[in-house]
Structure 1
Amino acid sequence: MTFPRTPRISPAARFPYAPGASPDADAPDPFDARWSPDETLRLRVPPPAPDLPEPVAEEEPADEPAPAPRKGGRDRYLDLLRALALARVILYHKFGWAWLPLLFPSMGVMFALAGSLMARSLARPALGVIRGRLRRLLPPMWLFGAVLITAMVLDGWGPHYDGHPRWWWAKMAFWLLPLSTPPYAESLGGFGGVMESEWAMNIAVPLWYLRAYLWYVLLSPAMLWALRRQPWLTVAAPLALSALINSGLFSQEGRLWETATDFTTFGACWILGLAHQEGLLRRLPQYLAPSLAPMIMIAGLWWLTSRPIEDPTTAGDLETVPFAQAVWSFGYVLLLLHLSPSWERWPARLERWNGLISLLNARAVSVYLWHIPALALAIPLMDHLWDVDFLYEHGQFVLRSHWTPLLIAMPLLALMVLSFGWMEDLAAKRPLRLFPYPRRPRGRRRAG
């Protein structure tokens, strides 16, 4: 099986304005016939208040309005988007359906969510925020790299693989700080033919996301500074650079162009996340985002369908045309952030999914890194099922199903997350948990 390659290429609460205070239900009605004009006058013109000492701070009136919601809590709407994005990534890497990125552009959504969280954190000193983000990102990647490098070395990879031993050792530094793509083997023996020869390259596909994320984190203070001064120009700059890079004027070969392509493809989505947290989107007229977003998405779709088809197997695949992906993702994310309902608590219909969604958010990096190894290992396990006589005679419809490898990969992914996901807790300085599934409080009924 060949995995489709990805081209190389909180949250601010969206609260509607609070309505004015409603009249006191216990106040007398001045239009009631039982009230005299004098009483009505007294209602409209209260007597002057006598001079009183300043009230003590602790003594608040009983009818004081409730305090504003806490801004530091989790936004369940954004948690839902992140969980959907992870699920879509897994399905795309398994089936390669070209319509999936159109249905839900996961990468643009994930970068927008990360940008929103980054903007909220930048209320603190920028250097400490960047250090904290790197601390959360790099240890899970180091653990992933240690396992992958060991497996590649056991399958024949080494300093003489590409004929440049010194450069091989130098490029290994990108496994420590992924400013560029960490090195990996493009073709190996597959452990004696048990796995495909491209297994290492397929497993290394997610690493481009970590590289782009790292650059966004490093440049977020500058992007936020520019956004506060020139919002429209800052949002449009990545799209303009993406159009320039993908105009055909450049060869796009080499590490520098790979990094630039990824950065410009999703840079506008990251900046939209910054703008969402800053409250800039709420200042727009309510009709503007719903009116512009569909037109932007149509422009991205037009660019996708108007490109020459070089590979028929990828025709219409948004992830093979970076500029089309940048435009489509920008319009899609703009619409999602405009709708942003900011759930502090789950709606009743989604309460039952709280456990799974919370688990995916708590292990988002691990799920993203380890889902392709799980899919890759499912292939040889699937081959062994053909040796089971009962399944061969009575269950070939199961063995031939495209969903069966996915059903095999899911327990493998759960095992990998269970084995390696604790690194996310260690990196975030949280108590270590093997299975961070939220417990239901005692006495709480299931939402109906």
Structure 2
Amino acid sequence: MGSHRRGGPTAVLAAERPSLTDTLPQRPVRDRYFDTLRAVALVRVVTYHTFGWAWCGMVFPSMGIMFGLAGTLMAKSLERPALKVVRSRLRRLLPPFWFWGFFVVLAMLIHGWMPRHYNIVFWIVPFGDPPGNKWGVQAWEILWYLRTYLWFVLLSPLLLKVFRLARVPVLLLSLAPILVLNFVWSGPEGRLGNELWDFSTYLFCWILGFAHRDGVLERLKPAVVVVLSLAAIGYGGWYAFTHQGEVGTYDLDEIPLAQAFWSAGFVMLLFWAKSSFGIDFAWLTRFKRLDRVVTIFNARAVTIYLWHEIALILAVPLIDQFWNVPAFEKYLPLESQWFMFGIGWLLIAVFVLACGWVEDVAARKRPRLLP
């Protein structure tokens, strides 16, 4: 084109002809800030399940952050017909769950478990805690997150309508259910009680996702957001430390009220900072390897979450075999939890390669070893 004069016939035709970027569909630009938060949250989950450090949840309340991220994405998706959105969410989540569940259930059957009740249906759709035996509890106890997520997905069309009737009041009132359960009525026993507690604990974070999507946080005065956030964090921390005698720890996972308020304040600050300062972590794309890792974590988030406990379980007998190799026994820190942490991540990588393609199938994409 440099050889043609400006304003000539060829230039006119070129101006009228749509460019390649105009005719091809544009790939959606991902928010690397949210992607990074999700990746760090997954790393923190694996770290906590390896070391059991009670302070992990205070440094980075992963589950509250993940529910907040899911809430804002759900609000965005609900710009489309609600039934279509809910079906899409179920389709993306259930096949990886079924694939993982097949191996867990098979292993429990081999180790003497025999289902005797209709509750086996929760291994098909985890709207409640699925049955199992003690041998497999470490693998399937993490399903509380999927169960709570599914209930949020089902109720989101209604929750979003209620939220938009009075955004700030509804956001603040979303902390009321956990206060009622903690101080007034502890809820029913069994599965329904567990569901109510988990749902109430993270309801604020999910509604906060709606608030972020609708631009509520950026319209609030910074001083109000900071004061409310720090007050919530302060109350959650105070309650955790003053009630640790009741549960034997200040671990937020064991104290729902403290978890609810600490996560509420923490996630509100993260979302407000993004809205107010336009944080997008676009610089991350300059670091190709790090950006690639964040991409993989987000595209394989369900796989990493479901399989990480199994990876940690398998790391123990695998390390036991290392003791039979004199060189390994002499030079490797086989007794260190950090070594188990490393082996666990290697096994997670194996599961991502071996099982991650199920997420592609569930999303109706071409299966790949790595996204």
CA distance in structure 2 between the partners assigned to 1:71 and 1:227 by the alignment: 31
1:63-142 correspondence runs (5 A):
72-142=28-98
Task: Give SS of 1:149's match.
Answer: helix
Q: CA deviation at 1:405?
A: 1.0
Structure with greater helix percent = 2
Identify the residue that residue 352 of structure 2 maps to in structure 1: 417
CA distance in structure 1 between the partners assigned to 2:315 and 2:40 by the alignment: 22
1:215 aligns with 2:171: no
Aligned 8 A contact 1:144 1:369 in 2: yes
CA distance in structure 2 between the partners assigned to 1:270 and 1:343 by the alignment: 20
Identify the residue that residue 179 of structure 1 maps to in structure 2: 127
Q: CA deviation at 1:321?
A: 0.1
Residue by residue over 1:61-109, the C-alpha shift from the partner in whole angstroms, topping out at 9 and shown as x without a partner, is xxxxxxxxx9952111000100000000000000010111000000000
Give RMSD over aligned pairs. Answer: 2.0
Identify the residue that residue 311 of structure 2 maps to in structure 1: 374
CA distance in structure 2 between the partners assigned to 1:291 and 1:72 by the alignment: 35
CA distance in structure 2 between the partners assigned to 1:300 and 1:233 by the alignment: 20
Residue by residue over 1:162-183, the C-alpha shift from the partner in whole angstroms, topping out at 9 and shown as x without a partner, is xxx2x2xx11111111111111
1:3-18 correspondence runs (5 A):
none
Identify the residue that residue 250 of structure 2 maps to in structure 1: 316
CA distance in structure 1 between the partners assigned to 2:112 and 2:62 by the alignment: 34
1:325 aligns with 2:259: yes
CA distance in structure 2 between the partners assigned to 1:375 and 1:76 by the alignment: 28
Q: 1:275 aligns with which of 207, 211, 229?
A: 211
Q: CA deviation at 1:234?
A: 1.9
AA partner of residue 233 (structure 1)? P
CA distance in structure 2 between the partners assigned to 1:209 and 1:347 by the alignment: 29
CA distance in structure 1 between the partners assigned to 2:287 and 2:53 by the alignment: 27
CA distance in structure 2 between the partners assigned to 1:257 and 1:293 by the alignment: 28
Residue by residue over 1:274-328, the C-alpha shift from the partner in whole angstroms, topping out at 9 and shown as x without a partner, is 110111112112332123211210011111111151454xx11111100100000
AA partner of residue 329 (structure 1)? S
Residue by residue over 1:321-377, the C-alpha shift from the partner in whole angstroms, topping out at 9 and shown as x without a partner, is 001000000000000001113427334775541010000000000000000000000
Q: How many percent identity over aligned positions?
A: 44
Task: Give SS of 1:205's match.
Answer: helix
AA partner of residue 159 (structure 2)? M
- Unaligned 5+ segments in structure 1 are 1-57, 60-69, 160-164, 189-199, 437-448
AA partner of residue 354 (structure 2)? S
1:46-445 correspondence runs (5 A):
72-159=28-115, 165=116, 167=117, 170-186=118-134, 188=135, 200-247=136-183, 249-250=185-186, 253-312=189-248, 315-340=249-274, 341-343=278-280, 345-347=282-284, 352-392=289-329, 394-395=330-331, 398-436=333-371
Please identify, of 255-264 and 229-238, the stretch whose mean Cα deviation from structure 2 is larger.
229-238
AA partner of residue 202 (structure 2)? F
* TM-score normalized by the length of structure 2: 0.88
Residue by residue over 1:355-411, the C-alpha shift from the partner in whole angstroms, topping out at 9 and shown as x without a partner, is 10000000000000000000000011111222222333x236x12211111111112
- Unaligned 5+ segments in structure 2 are 1-14, 17-25
Residue by residue over 1:170-211, the C-alpha shift from the partner in whole angstroms, topping out at 9 and shown as x without a partner, is 11111111111111112x4xxxxxxxxxxx101112200000
Identify the residue that residue 66 of structure 1 maps to in structure 2: none
Give the greater-gyration-radius structure (CA): 1
CA distance in structure 2 between the partners assigned to 1:344 and 1:121 by the alignment: 22
Structure 2 CA distance for partners of 1:349 and 1:97, relative to 1, 3 Å: farther
CA distance in structure 2 between the partners assigned to 1:292 and 1:215 by the alignment: 27
Structure 2 CA distance for partners of 1:287 and 1:311, relative to 1, 3 Å: closer
Identify the residue that residue 20 of structure 2 maps to in structure 1: none
Aligned 8 A contact 1:73 1:344 in 2: no
CA distance in structure 1 between the partners assigned to 2:196 and 2:176 by the alignment: 13
Task: Give SS of 1:399's match.
Answer: coil
Aligned 8 A contact 2:178 2:197 in 1: yes
